[in-house]
């Protein structure tokens, strides 16, 4: 009885295991080796610190990702908690609108930013009509920020809403029965209860922003976020070892962000795409 199920379980898990081993673990291991195969050897892994261009790119990417994470978590918390705590006509439409860009790929979002703030963008037309000056920021860091915010909000809002729905309403009632005014209920009860969810969704947001490629690719002009740097190294400079080492470093950073968040929030960080 105990022998056969074990065998069955192995058989059931085998296909996924083989695919993973052959197409993920093995290639990743190879990538790590190739990263160290350039002229600099294993020191290539320090290039992100020693090569000024790579360091700048890394710093810019981290700062951008941090800013996007903070903004997305703040915006989503306000809107998400509001939507969970109130019932009103049109609420479910709002929820749908806020979450449906969830699976838009980065390239498309880049294009949307161009339509919004590009050379013929809406913002440009409006500011031209108002002030006479055309405001165009799609191809700058601000454009990237807007694009990243666009794809982060739906993900973070889903996590925040899921966490807020799990809140025990009697916690809030207990605080009120003890005399706490609304802002104290938020500060003392609601935010602490949401904290694990906020940390988790913030970490996912950060990791996704660090690795995002499509948006930067579409907006292109002279922005060096790390994925773009890797892409340039690989295609234009044919520096495969350099691209590999940078990819490995990037992967380590995003993985570490998620692992750290999991330790902080004490729960499984569910990366929501």
Partner 1 sequence: MRRGKLFHLQLAFTLAVCTFLIVPVILSVLAGVTVNYFQGLSSGLTLRWLGEVWALYSETIFLSLLIAVVCLAVNLMIGVPAAYVLARKGGRLARALEEIIVLPIAIPGLAIALALIVTYGGFRDFRTGWSFILVGHVLYTLPFMVRSVLAVLHSVNFRELEESAASLGASFVQRFRDVILPNVKPGILAGSLMTFTLSIGEFNLTWMLHTPVTKTLPVGLADSYASMRLEVASAYTLIFFVMIVPLLIAMQAMSRRR
Partner 2 sequence: MMHNTLPEASEPMTAEKTAITLTDCGKTFADGTRALQPIDLAIAGGETVVLLGPSGCGKTTLLRIVAGLETPDAGGRVLFNGEDVTVRPIERREVGMVFQSYALFPNMSVRQNVAYGLKVRRVPREELTRRVDDALEMMQIAELAERRIGQLSGGQRQRVALARAIAVRPRILLLDEPLTALDALLRDRLRVEIDSLLRGLGITAVYVTHDQAEAMALGDRVVVMSAGQIEQIGPPRDIYHAPATDFVADFIGTVNRVPAAALAGWGDEVDGAVLFRPEDAEIVSGEGAHLRGRVASSLFLGDRTRLVLESDGLLPVVVDTRRRETIRIGEEIGIRLKPGHLIPLPSAGREGQTC
- Window 85 to 144, contacts with partner 1 (CB under 8 A): 86, 88, 94, 96-108, 110-116, 120, 122
| Complex with partner 2: residue 52 or 179, whichever CB lies closer | 179
* 244 interface partner picked from partner 1, partner 2, none, CB below 5 to 8 A per type: partner 1
Out of 10, 115, 126, 178, the residue judged to bind partner 2 by CB under 8 A: 178
Min dist CB 191 to partner 2, Å, is 9
State yes or no: residue 170 binds partner 2 (CB under 8 A). Answer: yes
Rounded Cα distance, 193 and 178, in Å: 18
- Nearer Cβ to partner 1, position 26 or 63? 26
The CB-of-174 to partner 1 minimum distance in angstroms stands at 18
User: Least distance (Å) from partner 1 to the CB of residue 192?
Assistant: 20
Q: Which does 41 bind (CB under 5 to 8 A by kind): partner 1, partner 2, none?
A: none
Select the binding partner of residue 173 from partner 2, partner 1, none (C-beta < 5 to 8 A, by kind).
Answer: partner 2
Degrees (nearest 5) of the Cα angle 102, 103, 105? 120
Residue 194 found at the interface with partner 2 (CB under 8 A): no
HEC secondary structure over 26-90 = HHHHHHHHHHCCCCCHHHHHHHHHHCHHHHHHHHHHHHHHHHHHHHHHHHHHHHHHHHHHCCCCC
- Picked from partner 1, partner 2, none, the partner binding residue 171 (CB below 5 to 8 A depending on kind) is partner 2
Binding partner selected for residue 52 from partner 1, partner 2, none, CB under the kind-specific 5 to 8 Å limit: none
Residues 6+ apart with CB under 8 A from 61: 209, 210, 225, 226, 227
User: Distance between CA atoms of 175 and 185, rounded to whole angstroms?
Assistant: 6
What span, in angstroms and rounded, lies between the C-alpha atoms of 194 and 201?
11
Site for partner 2 in 51-90 (CB under 8 A): 87
Name which of 67 and 167 has its Cβ closer to partner 2.
167
Q: Least distance (Å) from partner 2 to the CB of residue 161?
A: 20
- Residue 264 vs residues 49, 195, 208: alpha-carbon distances, Å: 27, 10, 19
Residue from 179, 222, 238, 268 touching partner 2 (CB under 8 A): that is: 179
Q: Is residue 16 near partner 1 by the rule CB under 8 A?
A: yes
Please state the closest distance from residue 257 (CB atom) to partner 2, in A.
24
Given the rule CB under 8 A, which residues bind partner 2? 87, 168, 170-171, 173-181, 184, 188-189, 192-193, 195
């Amino acid at each position: 009885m105990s022998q056969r199920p074990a065998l069955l379980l192995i058989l059931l898990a085998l296909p996924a295991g083989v695919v993973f081993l052959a197409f993920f673990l093995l290639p990743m291991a190879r990538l790590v080796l190739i990263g160290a195969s350039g002229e600099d050897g294993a020191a290539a892994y320090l290039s992100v610190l020693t090569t000024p261009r790579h360091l700048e790119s890394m710093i810019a990417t981290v700062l951008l990702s941090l800013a996007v994470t903070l903004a997305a978590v703040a915006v989503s918390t306000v809107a998400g908690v509001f939507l969970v705590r109130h019932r009103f006509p049109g609420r479910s439409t709002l929820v749908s609108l806020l979450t449906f860009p969830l699976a838009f790929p980065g390239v498309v979002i880049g294009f949307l930013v161009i339509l919004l703030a590009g050379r013929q963008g809406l913002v440009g037309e409006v500011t031209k009509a108002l002030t006479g000056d055309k405001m165009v920021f799609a191809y700058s860091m601000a454009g990237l920020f807007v694009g990243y915010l666009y794809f982060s909000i739906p993900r973070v809002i889903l996590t925040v809403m899921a966490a807020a729905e799990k809140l025990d309403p009697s916690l809030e009632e207990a605080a009120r029965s003890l005399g706490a005014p609304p802002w104290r209920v938020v500060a003392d009860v609601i935010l602490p209860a949401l904290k694990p969810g906020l940390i988790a969704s913030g970490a996912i947001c950060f990791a996704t922003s660090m690795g995002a490629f499509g948006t930067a690719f579409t907006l292109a002009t002279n922005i060096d976020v790390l994925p773009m740097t890797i892409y340039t190294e690989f295609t234009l400079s044919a520096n495969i070892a350099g691209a590999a080492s940078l990819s490995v470093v990037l992967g380590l950073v995003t993985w570490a962000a998620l692992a750290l968040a999991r330790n902080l929030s004490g729960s499984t960080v569910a990366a929501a795409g």
